Structure 1
Amino acid sequence: MKKNNVILGLLFIGVLMGALDISIVGPAIPSIHDSLGLDEQQVSWIFSIYILFSLMGISLFARLSDKYGRRPFYILAVLIFGIGSLLVAMAHNIELLLIGRAIQGFGASGIFPVASATVGDIFPREKRGRALGLIGMVFGLAFLTGPVLAGLMLKYFTWNSLFLINIPIVILVIIGSMKLLPANRSPDSKSIDWPGIVALGLFLSGFTIALNNLKTAGFWETVLSLSFYPFIIVGLIAFVFFLLIERNSEHPIVDTKLFYLKQVRIVGFLAFGTGLYQAAFVFVPGMTVMVFGVEPSTASFMLLPVVLAMAISSPISGRLIDRYGSRIIINIAFGLMAIGLTLLFAVPLTKPIYYFAGVMLGIGLSVLAGSSLRYIMLNEVSAGERASAQGVLTIMISFGQIIASALIGAFTAGYRDSIKGYQIVFAILTFITILLGVSSLRLKSRSQEKEMYTGK
């Protein structure tokens, strides 16, 4: 059992490394923007291409590790991530930077599912929940510590150092994995859904490229141009094929039958909104630099109220959900999100207002990105469907992140050197938050959740 705990620590470090490279990008964006002379739409690709490639590889790595063993594919995923990190650290132009971020994302897509599967292999059933909880907690930890870590490093080093620091960690994780990770294969490994993986990749790629080419100045000209509509058409066609393939696949990436459940449909919509918020948060340091005229490292530290609000409210919200049910807590979260977002666009932005809005957003996001949506999913589906349900959440959150990063890039590019683009984005997000809040009213009440849980 002691060896299992050491393995868990090794997996924890690997997952943390991949998760941090999502949260540290936001504070680094102003520095990368100035260093490479990027425009706002190129900046949005730094975030969205990582998410895109991380989504495309999840199912592939999971199935390959089932078939051929955890150790080789965990090591391969970490190695790919390390190569991507090195390319990003060496980048002196946007092309190499994006290639590196894509490779990073693809490597990260294998780290988390293989780590989770390894936990299932080495821990007995009665201890898996706690171990998986520790692995899942990494993303929250990365989201909390990433901005602070980035701020400290940006104060003394260039932005490249944020990615170069991954290299020694990659080496240590690979050496530890070669010595400790089991090489056993799953006895009931499932076939790889190649058609589904290709269709999902085409769908996400088409939408991502189209939205990142969208321009608010000359909107209709952009929509009718070859840089937009061919890609959106490819994305739509691929989406239709993806649904047809998954409906008939023996081992689908996404079990479409889950969407027959009303609660799953609602949670999927809320997860999409959560992804929108998370992506918007990444771009806040850029707005902070513009509004208050501070250095990028200072802008990172100005996110501390958000980080502290999330750190304090995350465990509290979990207990409140257990006591009062998920619906009322999620309703309150959307109310707080609406207040915070409204303050960011509707009133003159001073530091006290900025910090207060950050606290509201931090509390709200801690509920939505924490346990609430997973709590509902786990209650709604059978034990055999839980992995598929978590896959639905992951895809919907990631799709929201991709959409938001592209639209933020389009609006900020249309209002260059002006806060107007950010204000429009936050106004749109406020409207979406109201829609999400209304939708959350259709979630099950506490009494209905109790009845379902007790089988009454």
Structure 2
Amino acid sequence: MERTNTRWLLALLFTGTLMGALDLAIIGPALPVIQVEFSLQQRGLAGLINSYTLFQMLGALLLAKLADRRGPRLIYMTSVVLFAAGSLMLVLAESAWMLYVGRVLQGFGAGGFFPASAAVIGARLSPERRGPALGILGMVWGVAFIAGPILGGIFLRLSWHWLFAINLPIAAVLLAGAFKLLPTDTPGEPRPFDLKGILILAAGMTALVMAVTGIDTNAPIDSLLSPRVGGSLLATVLLIAVFWRIEQRAHDPIVKPKLFASAQIAKSCAIACGVSGVQSGVIFLPVLLVYSLGVSPANSALLLLPGVIGATVSAPIVGRLINRLGTRNIIVCSQLLVLTGLSVYAFTQLNYVSFLFASIVSGIGSAGLVGAPLRFIMLAEAGSEDRASAQGLLSVSSSAGRLFGASIVGAVAASLGGGESGYRAAFAGLVVLGVLILLIATTLNS
């Protein structure tokens, strides 16, 4: 009976996290259609991704902290309700502002799925069972970045509204399952909430988005000196500095500075940020395929299917290999595979064979980067009272990377005309970032 309940519990956690992860990437194939219908500029399309990512990051911090205080069930159900409300607004959208508000609600709700889920796994499963469970849960992001565009292409054949309408019945099932299966235990006594910290962080990340999306790669120096970009970058630095000072003094900070006393946690967060920045480029991969191979937006997403299969098959295997090979070896090997795929996108003339090779290799590599290894490190390094907060910190690091990466890819492509050459140049930049990630990964403890 207990084993059966555990399986249903993991299925619930997996489905919620998958729903939240998919909606970051599922919008990719629909971007050209939405652009025409709502008369959006190229940078406006990046805003649909950035708004989701920004508020997912804020939601991960806030909802993870509340999960440590109020228990995972309430926070998980709150996340589902917020996500469903955003999906409904997108379905009913008649103007651009409704699109952006819907994405904000979706992103904030999605931010609570992974921290609450990982905290439940850490509390309910024995250490030897956490690796496989985190591997299955963690593969969600790798699979979602590839499967999202595929599902988006399928639903796009009906209408782009179906990309979000499908979330509503799923959310209803998740609410019922969460009420029955998730624990309600609330570790720790109530303490003053760090509202000032979350507001300052939100302002800082908003300024960062404005800066990154305003960079013109044809005139980078001039754009950096412009009031929008230069002023936003300066505001970002100042606000983050103020945020860190607030967190050091807060009674119960959103981001606990003591967590960074662990070199493993600091490096894991840096790797998560970089990896997610690199993988955010996959959102724009269907657009690159439209330009490179001349396929339709709907069919371009179907070409990503081999990568989904590679990630899906590899993720559970990665979770089981952690104790045998060590987290460092898995992360290094996985990053080498992802770099191989990115190099094909950036530096070769794509054809069907080369693209399928790159997609499969990248899919296998992503399974070892966004899943069990980094989550395993965070569970091992954080205390029981900080499990959700530590997972939230890792989720925020990932969200920051996706925010930065999606902004860079969109800005570079737009500055170079938005065609094939623009997206290839953006992927070349992601290769450079991938090399830096590899160097950090080699310094992890084994």
Q: Residue in 1 aligned with 2:159?
A: 158
| Between 387-396 and 410-419, the greater mean CA deviation after superposition | 387-396
* Cα distance in 1 between the residues matched to 2:405 and 2:348: 23
* Residue 17, structure 1, aligned to residue 26, structure 2: no
**How much is the aligned-residue C-alpha RMSD, in angstroms?**
3.1
C-alpha change, 1:351 and 1:223, in structure 2 (3 Å) is same
CA distance in 1 between counterparts of 2:326 and 2:130 reads 21
Task: Tell which has more relative contact order, 1 or 2 (C-alpha 8 A, sep 6+).
Answer: 2
> Matched residue of 2:111: which SS?
helix
Q: Please identify, of 42-51 and 256-265, the stretch whose mean Cα deviation from structure 2 is larger.
A: 256-265
Paired residue for 2:296?
A: 295
Equivalent runs, 1:54-93 vs 2, <5 Å = 54-64=56-66, 73-93=75-95
Q: Cα distance 1:264–1:287, how it changes in 2: closer, same or farther (>3 A)?
A: same
Aligned-pair distance for 1:126?
8.3
1:251 alignment partner, SS class: coil
CA distance in 1, matches of 2:321, 2:122: 29
Segments of 5+ residues of structure 2 without an aligned counterpart are none
Paired AA for residue 397 in structure 1: S
User: Residue 281 of structure 1: CA displacement?
Assistant: 1.0
Query: Quick one: distance in 2 between partners of 1:70 and 1:384?
Result: 13
- 2:347 maps to 1:334: no
Residue 354 of structure 1: aligned partner: 355
Give the partner amino acid of 1:316. I
- Measure the CA separation in 1 of the matches of 2:48 and 2:152: 16
Per-residue displacement from partner, 1:273-310 (whole Å, max 9, x unpaired)? 11112211111111111111111121111111211221
Match of 1:31 among 16, 30, 33: 33
2:228 maps to 227
Residues 23, 146 of structure 1: 8 Å contact kept? yes
| Counterpart contact for 2:275–2:437, Cα < 8 Å | no
User: Could you say which residue in structure 2 is the equivalent of 1:404?
Assistant: 405
* CA deviation string 1:240-277 (max 9, x = no partner): 01111222223222222333333333322211111112
Tell me by how many angstroms 1:98 deviates: 1.2
Instruction: Return the letter of the residue paired with 1:354.
Output: F
How much does 1:139 deviate?
Answer: 4.2
- The whole-number CA distance in structure 2 between the counterparts of 1:68 and 1:384 is 12
- Structure 2 distance, partners of 1:314, 1:126, is 18
Q: Which amino acid aligns with 1:45?
A: G
SS at match of 1:227: helix
Amino acid at match of 2:245: L
Preserved contact between residue 70 and residue 183 of structure 1 (Cα < 8 Å): yes
Q: Runs of 5+ in structure 1 lacking a partner?
A: 446-456
- The letter of the residue matching 2:214 is N
Compared CA separation, residues 423 and 116, structure 1 to 2 (3 A): closer
Q: Tell me the TM-score normalized by structure 1.
A: 0.85
CA shift for structure 1 position 100: 1.1
1:142-221 alignment runs, 5 A limit: 142-143=144-145, 145-155=147-157, 157-174=158-175, 188-221=189-222
Q: How far does residue 333 in structure 1 lie from its aligned partner after superposition?
A: 2.3
Counterpart position of 2:100: 98
Structure 1 contact 39–413 (Cα < 8 Å) conserved: no
Aligned length: 443
2:334 touches 2:364 (CA, 8 Å); kept in 1?
yes
Q: Identity over the aligned pairs, expressed in percent?
A: 35
d(CA) in 1 for partners of 2:327, 2:363:
18
Q: CA, structure 1 residues 400+140, in 2 after alignment: closer, same or farther (shift >3 Å)?
A: closer
Q: 1:441 matched to which residue of 2? A: 442
Q: Which amino acid aligns with 2:79?
A: A
